[in-house]
Amino acid sequence: MLVHIKDLVKDAAKHGYAIGAFNVHNLETILGVARAAVKAKSPAIIQVSEGAIKYMGRKPVNHLVSTVAKNLAPDVQIALHLDHGSSFESVLACMDAGFSSVQIDASSMPIDENIELTKKIVDIAHKRGVWVQGEVGSMIGGHGKVGGRITGVPLAVPAEVVAFVKATKVDSIAAAVGSAHGAFTNEDVHLDLVKAITEKIKTPLVLHGGSGVPDKVIAKAIKNGVRIINIGTDIKVAFSDTLKDTCKKNKKETDPRVLLTPSIEAVEAIVLNKMKLFGSFGRSVDIKAKKL
């Protein structure tokens, strides 16, 4: 079923686990996430970047996610979110298209301009019942980048995160805490920094760059208060590595369904593992959420 993101995050905060926010790129990755959610009886956030919207179209992606959630996953809770919205116009268009949650990522701007733009969006979004995620401290790396070391990862300053949340009234907050977009060999999360932030604010903290962070560190980050974890690269890799392999082994195959089914299954397997790690496995049974 399609639900508002607030119902998922509320349950995660109450029971001390994290909801996976999974980046999708096409029908097949949407199916992989939805099937994993059904198998795991787990809530899930399905999120799209502006790149994915450019590829599929804003309304089509909204309809695809809604239809899959309502028809193929009627007993689990799925929420749709815009990941890394970069402008007022882009975020507004997603609200118009029916997203229950949007991120405005103005983290590359000076903090006062970030606050100003985020606040302007929050004011409009809240009138429409839409949740807004803000971001303090820029993420580096790159979606889909795999291997090698990452250096110079910026870190958010807790006092700045607290001031930002207070000033903007965002519903969730992404802060740079050591992880990076992509999967690198030395990725880490500064657990003390996570704690220093979550002790001072009630607003749920979002961990971006979840791919590449060791499982043990993810588990500790959840203990320290992370309530949403973004996974993008692991899905891209599962999908495309499997597709390349299937094509190699079936050079004469012409049926896209035969070539794509193993990739859907690979995405499903990755997402299932994340749901176990995040503690959302089985939570759908207890969550009371209004269907959208």
Which residue positions form the known binding site for dihydroxyacetone phosphate? Answer: 182, 209-211, 230-233
Q: Judge residue 27's burial from the number of C-beta atoms within 10 Å of its C-beta, 0-12 exposed, 13-18 middle, 19 or more buried.
A: middle
Smallest gap, in angstroms, from Cβ of residue 136 to ligand G3H?
Answer: 14
Distinct helix (H) and strand (E) counts, the chain: 11, 10
234: annotated active-site residue: no
DSSP character for 213?
A: S
Which residues are documented as binding site for Zn(2+)? 84, 105, 135, 181, 208
DSSP character for 283?
A: G
> What gap in Å lies between CA 106 and CA 88, rounded to an integer?
10
Q: Is 143 in the site for Zn ion (CB under 5 A)?
A: no
Residue nearest to Zn ion (CB): 208
Q: Is 182 in the site for ligand G3H (CB under 6 A)?
A: yes
233 binds, among ligand G3H, Zn ion, none (CB under 5 to 8 A by kind): ligand G3H
> What gap in Å lies between CA 171 and CA 185, rounded to an integer?
32
Residues 168-227 that bind Zn ion (CB under 5 A): 208
DSSP character for 169?
A: -
Q: Toward ligand G3H, which CB reaches closer, 44 or 287?
A: 44
HSE-up of residue 226 (Cα within 13 Å, Cβ side): 33
Q: Which of 107, 211, 280, 284 binds ligand G3H (CB under 6 A)?
A: 211
Binding residues for Zn ion, per CB under 5 A? 208, 230
Binding residues for ligand G3H, per CB under 6 A? 23, 83-84, 143, 181-182, 208-212, 230-234
Active site residues: 83
